[in-house]
Amino acid sequence: MAKPKGTAAAASKVAPGQGGELHQTESDPRKRLTTNHGVPVSDDQNSLKGGRRGPTLLEDFVLREKIQHFDHERIPERIVHARGSAAHGYFELTESLARYTRAKVLTEVGVKTEVFTRFSTVAGGAGSVDTPRDVRGFAVKLYTKEGNWDLVGNNIPVFFIQDAIKFPDLIHAVKMEADRGFPQAASAHDTFWDFVGLMPESTHMIMWAMSDRAIPRSLRMIEGFGVNTFRLLNDKDEATFVKFHWRPKLGLQSTLWDEAVKIAGADPDFHRRDLHDAIAAGDFPEWEFGVQLLSQAEADALPFDILDATKVIPEEMVPIRIVGRMVLDRNPDNFFAETEQSAFLPTNIPPGIDVSEDPLLQGRLFSYQDTQLSRLGSVNFHQLPINQAKGCPFQNLQRDGHMQTQVFAGRANYEPNSLAEAGEEGGPREDPKGGFRSFAQPLGETKVRLRSETFADHYSHARLFYRSQSPIEQAHLASAIVFELSKVSLEHVRIRVLANLRNVDEGLAKRVAAGLAMDLPAKSAPAVEPEDMKLSPALRIIGKYPPTLKGRAVGVLVTDGADGKVVDAVRKLAEADGAMVKIVAPKVGGVTLKDGTLLKADGQLAGMPSMIFDAVALVLSKEGCAQLLKDSAAIDFAMNAFVHLKAIGFTAEARPLLAKAGVEDDAGVVDIGGGAKGFLEPARTRQWEREPKVRMLA
């Protein structure tokens, strides 16, 4: 190989891109590139070599430091809830709970408390997609004046298991199978359903996980629940049981299964992008904060045990009191430093809030503190900026450890001490009155390793959930179980699940068996016969979101020669109702409209399929439509909008495309050539009555 010509000095100046203008020398010390130890760097483009074409020298500490730091950039991902998206915001109390608690965050009306909220999927890895069928984590860190309060919840109010000792088994079963390393971010496989079939206590949670709640439309449209029962403690140390709730202002909304699967391909970051973009656009997501409060006597009177996290307290039984709100109004500046390094601990509770004896919660009290050590690598993880107690300083006599960032002055690192008597700083002291106190729960029972008999009913609440759903939701739920069990290769596992389902609802078991083309097996024997509870319509999704386009997206597909007036009319109408409108065109540069003006596109057709919109409009010219008939992306655009039960507005020129995509006329397919008004009503909701025409449900 011929040596390049030129002198060594000339060669050393050649930067990637040749221009060198982005790599100018910086003499201002505040802007100068340095090593981690502050040594200014003269050349960030070339390593130090033994000659122009010679080997790189070990001496090159600039190169070594840069590469070494890069080599160690990744830290272990969370063992569960690895994939997450987060935002900053504030919590504001609207009604004081002073009668029940002395926690200032719940007594000082109008005071804004800074929060950091992280949403997550549970089973998938950090790089998995946003829309699998899964529970969503809903973890809120409130930086209160009395220390951080981490309300580490989910979007489903119950859980799979009753005792923390089963958590590693549950997670091993649901994650990718141990020998083959798949499936990723999916519960539809042998080991998960094997565990479920053998653990009837998971049945209630399975109903929720198979419902459309597990395939949310947006993180801005999920509910949040503290799940475990906590206590509030007032000034007199009197206790009240409490369940915590978050309610999205945009209403609870979901996708359809076929849609969620296709979104995963179209935009794996669908939820992360949606949250980020909404906040960036100033459309801040908001939740109401609510509590269900119960005295000991009220808890004792319930026909189930509130310490059992597989049970829900229907709001028809104990109403939810809305006492505050949370607004997320700022995106993180740095994903790693904030979203990734945030550490949530159910043990972070200010004075006036306390845990209960729920055996699931009790295990969590250990796990979260512990797991940070392998993930963040140091007992000082609370000193990371995102985890610091910002509302009040932390001060104690714990010292040193890996990555200690504090410089503690003085000798007071033990207590009691009398250093103050000699004029030295004596250090912080305990506060018996204002400090955290645990509820004086009388114990005094014999040590046992068993499950309370009050936890034995595994089916009444599953039945309550299933029977409380609307017919559409019941069909979706049954179909979800059919889908998941169809991916289970072990027949005995499917049979066991079916046998358990008969305890929930015979109709459900029959539907699932028919969907699998399997015989219905004998009913499994429940530990306790389930009871019929009063149905709870509040457990439904349908009807829980207002008919509005607020927070949703409308996609307008256009071609050259399209009528700009129709595009404008759709945009005006949808934006006035709160929607974000995106122009989709065959080419990203945009289209030339009928009147000769250029309309810029927000995205190209193949990259902006209709799955990512809540309603679509097809504003085409005759020639444009003729072109699109040859493009499967265009046909899919219309077909998917139709089968995902979305409103489709169209101009007459788009008719051939609709026909080719199999779109049939119904109330949601609206001619907007003469005016867009008729498009609004159907666009605000899904066309449920269309579903039987486009999908075979169980």
Catalytic residues: 81, 154
Nearer to ligand HDE, 229 or 479 (CB): 229
Between 74 and 587, name the residue whose CB sits nearer to ligand HDE.
74
CB of 694 to ligand HDE, least distance (A): 35
Q: Which stretch binds ligand HDE (CB under 6 A): 76-84, 276-284, 431-439, 444-452?
A: 76-84
Q: Is 139 in the site for ligand HDE (CB under 6 A)?
A: yes
- Rule CB under 6 A: say whether 637 interacts with ligand HDE: no
- By the 10 Å C-beta count (0-12 exposed, 13-18 middle, 19+ buried), 663 is classed as buried
Q: How far is the CB of 222 from ligand HDE (least distance, A)?
A: 12
Per-residue x/- mask for ligand HDE, residues 272 to 311, rule CB under 6 A? -------------------------------------x--
Number of residues that bind ligand HDE (CB under 6 A): 27
Please report how close the Cβ of residue 208 comes to ligand HDE at its closest, in angstroms. 12
CB of 403 to ligand HDE, least distance (A): 18
| Residue 120 is a binding residue for ligand HDE (CB under 6 A) | yes
Hey, which residues does 286 pair with through a beta bridge? 327
- From the list 12-20, 80-88, 279-287, 489-497, the region that binds ligand HDE by CB under 6 A is 80-88
With respect to ligand HDE, which residue has the nearer C-beta, 290 or 561? 290
- Member of 343, 462, 512, 669 binding ligand HDE (CB under 6 A): 343
Q: How far is the CB of 646 from ligand HDE (least distance, A)?
A: 31
Our CB check for ligand HDE shows the closer of 32 and 74 to be 74
> C-beta of 229: minimal distance to ligand HDE in Å?
11
Structure tokens at 132: 């699998």
Asked if 141 is part of the footprint of ligand HDE (rule: CB under 6 A), the reply reads: no
CA distance 226 to 291: 10
**Region of 146-154, 202-210, 212-220, 649-657 interacting with ligand HDE (CB under 6 A):** 146-154
Instruction: State the minimum distance, in angstroms, from the CB of residue 228 to ligand HDE.
Output: 6
**CB neighbour class for 455 (10 Å; exposed up to 12, middle 13-18, buried from 19):** buried
Spatial distance between the Cα atoms of 617 and 558, rounded to a whole number of angstroms: 9
The residue (of 343 and 570) whose beta carbon lies closer to ligand HDE is 343
Query: Is residue 581 involved in binding ligand HDE (CB under 6 A)?
Result: no
| Interaction between residue 344 and ligand HDE (CB under 6 A) | yes
Quote the tokens at residue 88: 């900053």
Tokens of 258: 């076929």
68 and 98 in contact (C-beta within 8 Å)? no
Euclidean distance between the first and final Cα of the chain, in Å? 68
**Least distance to ligand HDE, CB of residue 323, Å:** 20
Q: Does 153 bind ligand HDE (CB under 6 A)?
A: yes
Omega of the bond leading into 692 within 30 degrees of 0 (cis)? no
The 35-74 site mask, x for binding ligand HDE (CB under 6 A), equals: ----------------------------------------
- What residues between 346 and 365 interact with ligand HDE by CB under 6 A? 360, 363-364
Q: Which amino acid is at 303?
A: P
Interface with ligand HDE in residues 201-260 (CB under 6 A): 227-228
Contact 565, 591 (CB under 8 A): no
Residues 358, 171: Cα–Cα separation, whole Å: 20
Return the range that interacts with ligand HDE (CB under 6 A); candidates 252-260, 336-344, 570-578, 623-631: 336-344
Residue 572 — left, alpha, or beta (φ > 0 → left; ψ -120 to 50 → alpha)? alpha
CB 554 within 8 A of CB 683: yes
Shortest separation between residue 343's beta carbon and ligand HDE, angstroms = 6
Residues present in the chain in total: 698
Q: Which is nearer to ligand HDE, 151 or 638 (CB)?
A: 151
Give CA–CA dist 183/230, Å, rounded. Answer: 35
Rounded to the nearest whole angstrom, what is the least distance from the CB of residue 369 to ligand HDE in the complex? 8
Asked if 308 and 241 count as a contact pair (C-beta separation under 8 A), the reply is no
Residue owning tokens 């430093």 = 337
Binding of ligand HDE at residue 118 (CB under 6 A)? yes
Which of 103, 115, 164, 263 contacts ligand HDE by CB under 6 A?
164
Binding flag, residue 154, ligand HDE (CB under 6 A): yes
**Alpha carbons 49 and 58: distance in angstroms, whole number:** 9
Quick one: which H or E segment has residue 581? strand 580-585
H or E stretch covering 556: strand 553-558
Taking the complex as a whole, the smallest distance from the CB of residue 66 to ligand HDE amounts, in Å, to 30
For 248, the token pair is 């999205």
498 burial level (CB within 10 Å; 0-12, 13-18, 19+): buried
Letters for 362-401 (x = contact with ligand HDE by CB under 6 A, - = none) are -xx--xx--x------------------------------
Question: What is the spatial distance between Cα 697 and Cα 481, in angstroms, rounded to a whole number?
Answer: 11
Rounded to whole angstroms, how far apart are CA atoms 290 and 161? 25
- Using CB under 6 A as the binding rule, whether residue 162 contacts ligand HDE is answered as no
624 binds ligand HDE (CB under 6 A): no
Cβ neighbourhood burial of 180 (10 Å; 0-12, 13-18, 19+): exposed
**Options 324-332, 339-347, 382-390, 438-446: segment touching ligand HDE (CB under 6 A):** 339-347
3-state helix, strand, coil in the chain (%, to 5): 35, 15, 50
- Taking alpha carbons only, the member of 241, 362, 250 closest to residue 313 is 241
User: Considering beta carbons, is residue 320 or 591 the nearer one to ligand HDE?
Assistant: 320
Structural contact between residues 561 and 594, judged by C-beta atoms closer than 8 angstroms: yes
Is the CB of 202 or the CB of 651 nearer to ligand HDE? 202
Instruction: Count each helix (H run) and each strand (E run) in the chain, helices first.
Output: 19, 18
Nearest CB to ligand HDE, comparing residues 344 and 466: 344
Q: Collect all residues with Cβ–Cβ distance below 8 Å to 20 and sequence separation of at least 6.
A: 13, 14
- 3-state SS of 589-605 is CCEECCCCCEECCCEEH
Q: Is 335 in the site for ligand HDE (CB under 6 A)?
A: no
- Binding stretches for ligand HDE (CB under 6 A): 78-81, 84, 118, 120, 137, 139, 152-154, 159, 164, 167, 227-228, 309, 342-344, 360, 363-364, 367-368, 371
